[in-house]
């Protein structure tokens, strides 16, 4: 059955480029970005893995661990990591799960029989510190993923969790936010949003980003 937003993601134990990983233990109390690849030594994915390695400090600042998955085995991964490091001028600094038995791919519904490549599709899962699925993206093989967008989404999700705001279209860090509709009490609003807020419509109230 497909995972839905808000579901608790399934645990697994699987080999990786950094040794055997029990997912729940490895994740601990961090958020996680799990992103999958149809196979090793694929061109677009090579650029993506390099991009994520360079962005790892940004994920770390947000208490996010990153982990990749490909259906090839650990030895293949190690060869691919050498290529990634060489061609992308970086060092892969996070694990790549080996999934030749497709155990994890099946658990996370990464197998799409009608896709171009009848292996894992290129999916992204953002999982919070309670092991809840908060977002999924699925990309075609030809389009590289935008990891700046993934960081933007994480910023938005963490703002909602911590400050009772949502983010409008094309929001970027530092921009005005939307007060969630469930907050109605004027005293609560005053306490939560000391910078004030603008009532555009009763259902659309804008406030400066609370943590800036």
Low-confidence stretches of the chain (pLDDT < 50) are 116, 118
Domain range annotation of the chain: 13-143, 164-207
Active site residue 45: yes
Which pLDDT value is given to residue 112?
61
Which pLDDT value is given to residue 118?
45
CATH no. for 13-143: 3.40.30.10
β-pair partners for 31? 64
Which pLDDT value is given to residue 28?
98
Helices 74-88/43-61 angle, 10° precision: 80
Which pLDDT value is given to residue 2?
81
The catalytic residue among 33, 45, 157, 177 is 45
User: For 53-82, how does the pLDDT look when each residue is reduced to its tens digit (9 = 90+)?
Assistant: 999 999 999 999 999 999 899 999 999 999
User: For 22-34, how does the pLDDT look when each residue is reduced to its tens digit (9 = 90+)?
Assistant: 999 999 999 999 9
Which pLDDT value is given to residue 39?
86
């Amino acid at each position: 059955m497909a995972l839905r937003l808000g579901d608790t993601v399934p645990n697994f134990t699987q080999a990786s480029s950094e040794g055997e990983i029990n997912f729940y233990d490895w994740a601990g109390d961090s958020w996680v970005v799990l992103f999958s690849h149809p196979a090793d030594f694929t061109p677009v994915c090579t650029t993506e893995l390099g991009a994520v390695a360079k962005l790892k400090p940004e994920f770390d600042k947000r208490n996010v661990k990153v982990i990749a998955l490909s259906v090839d085995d650990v030895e293949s991964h190690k060869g691919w990591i050498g290529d990634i490091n060489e061609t992308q001028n970086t060092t892969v600094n996070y694990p790549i799960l080996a999934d030749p038995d497709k155990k994890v791919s099946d658990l996370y519904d990464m197998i799409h029989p009608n896709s171009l490549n009848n292996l894992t599709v290129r999916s992204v899962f953002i999982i919070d510190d309670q092991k809840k699925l908060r977002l999924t993206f699925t990309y075609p093989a030809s389009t590289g993923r935008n990891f700046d967008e993934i960081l933007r989404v994480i910023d938005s999700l963490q703002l909602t969790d911590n400050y009772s705001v949502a983010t409008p279209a094309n929001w970027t860090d530092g921009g005005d936010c939307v007060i969630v509709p469930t907050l109605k009490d004027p005293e609560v609003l005053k306490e939560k949003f000391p910078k004030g807020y603008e009532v555009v419509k009763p259902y659309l109230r804008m406030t400066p980003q609370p943590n800036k």
